[in-house]
């Protein structure tokens, strides 16, 4: 359970969310919690009728619910999207403390770097020559900005983030701990003697507004030109995005996925966990790539694919169902082959002497 900054009337919260309050609007919200651990002062939520049993057993004092789900006598806020409205409620009830503006003692800031007076640079952070940090942005300890990096307004860079030279962030970008943007792409050419020679990686990484990138994710700089993450894209932890990729607006890339060079994800495409692509492929607008899928060709807009190599969703489900029946089918096939004389009969076990 998480306590709120100060108790809030349920009716006031409902009004802020643009929803109707049902029951005691004077209920004072003291905290937010999931159904299983919520107490009498807490606000919780249920997404759908699938959570009816958990709701009945919960001790939550107030809830956000879809229409038609019994609140069990509790005061409630009715919502067509309880998950979204609960998230918005938490944002209002448990606001994060804004960091103190200014450059802390122990931060290393180049003389020609431009840091807005409202930005916050923590001790141990490094801001390189010619770098720019916009208004309201926050650099936590051990953030390193190489020369020429540009950080827009109201960005949050958590501990251990590294932005290589020339990387550019838009506004309201969130980088979780350990993110590395602009490391060299994996590019090598074989010389006359068969040895690998490094191909210079002289491009950059551009991250547009309202992107969030998860912990220990890496986005490589382009060989030439840009690797670009477009507005509103969300990238999970431990993702590898190679040189010259383009991640479209509102696209989603889930944990441990990897994109080879020059892969394009169009607007709203979704890559689930541990999926991967060969290079120079396009995943179309609103396409869906299932967990652990391996892409060897383009995915058309709106198509849902699973498996390695990729298959349309229905074909993959049929193949998985057939695979479960394969051992029995093989036993029956061998029995038929023996009856037809196409397979030798199994020798009978010898009698013990």
DSSP state of 242: -
Annotated catalytic residue 243: yes
Whole-angstrom Cα distance, residue 235 to residue 315?
A: 28
The CA-atom distances, in angstroms, between 52 and each of 34, 116, 146, 186, 196 are 13, 50, 52, 51, 61
Residues linked to residue 36 through DSSP beta bridges, in sequence order: none
DSSP string, 298-351: -B-TT-EEETTTTEEHHHHHHHHHHHHHHHHHHHHHHHHHHHTTSSPPPPPPPP
CA distance 208 to 315: 37
Give me the DSSP letters along 106-156.
T-EE-TT-EE-TT-EE-TT-EE-TT-EE-TT-EE-TT-EE-TT-EE-TT-E
Contact assessment for residue 23 and residue 31, using Cβ atoms and an 8 Å cutoff: no
H or E stretch at 76: strand 76-78
H or E element in which residue 162 lies: strand 162-163
CB of 103 within 8 A of CB of 122? no
Question: One of 116, 243, 296, 314 is an active-site residue; which one?
Answer: 243
> Which residues participate in catalysis according to the annotation?
243
């Amino acid at each position: 359970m998480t306590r709120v900054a100060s108790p809030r009337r349920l009716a006031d919260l409902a009004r802020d969310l643009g929803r109707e309050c049902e029951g005691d609007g004077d209920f004072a919200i003291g905290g937010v919690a999931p159904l299983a651990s919520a107490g009498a002062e807490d606000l919780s939520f249920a997404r759908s009728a699938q959570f009816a049993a958990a709701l009945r057993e919960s001790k939550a004092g107030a809830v956000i619910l879809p229409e038609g789900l019994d609140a069990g006598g509790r005061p409630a806020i009715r919502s067509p999207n309880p998950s979204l409205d609960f998230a918005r409620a938490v944002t209002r009830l448990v606001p994060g403390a804004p960091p103190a503006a200014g450059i802390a003692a122990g931060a290393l800031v180049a003389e020609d770097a431009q840091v807005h007076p409202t930005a916050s640079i923590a001790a141990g952070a490094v801001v390189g020559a010619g770098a720019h940090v916009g208004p309201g942005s926050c650099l936590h300890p051990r953030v390193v900005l190489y020369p020429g990096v540009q950080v827009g307004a109201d960005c949050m860079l958590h501990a251990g983030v590294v932005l290589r030279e020339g990387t550019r962030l838009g506004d309201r970008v969130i980088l979780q701990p350990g993110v590395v943007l602009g490391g060299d792409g994996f590019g090598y050419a074989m010389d006359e003697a068969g040895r690998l020679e490094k191909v210079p990686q002289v491009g950059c990484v551009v991250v547009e507004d309202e992107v969030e990138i998860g912990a220990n994710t890496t986005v490589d700089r382009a060989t030439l030109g840009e690797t670009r993450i477009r507005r509103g894209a969300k990238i999970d932890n431990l993702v590898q995005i190679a040189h010259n990729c383009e991640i479209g607006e509102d696209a989603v890339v889930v944990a441990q996925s990897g994109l080879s060079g020059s892969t394009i994800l169009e607007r709203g495409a979704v890559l689930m966990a541990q999926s991967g692509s060969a290079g120079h492929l396009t995943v179309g607008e609103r396409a869906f790539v299932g967990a652990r899928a391996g892409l060897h060709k383009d995915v058309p807009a709106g198509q849902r694919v699973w498996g390695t190599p990729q298959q349309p969703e229905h074909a993959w489900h049929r193949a998985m169902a057939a695979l479960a029946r394969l051992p029995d089918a093989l036993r029956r096939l061998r029995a038929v082959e023996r009856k037809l004389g196409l397979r030798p009969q199994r020798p009978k076990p010898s009698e013990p002497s």
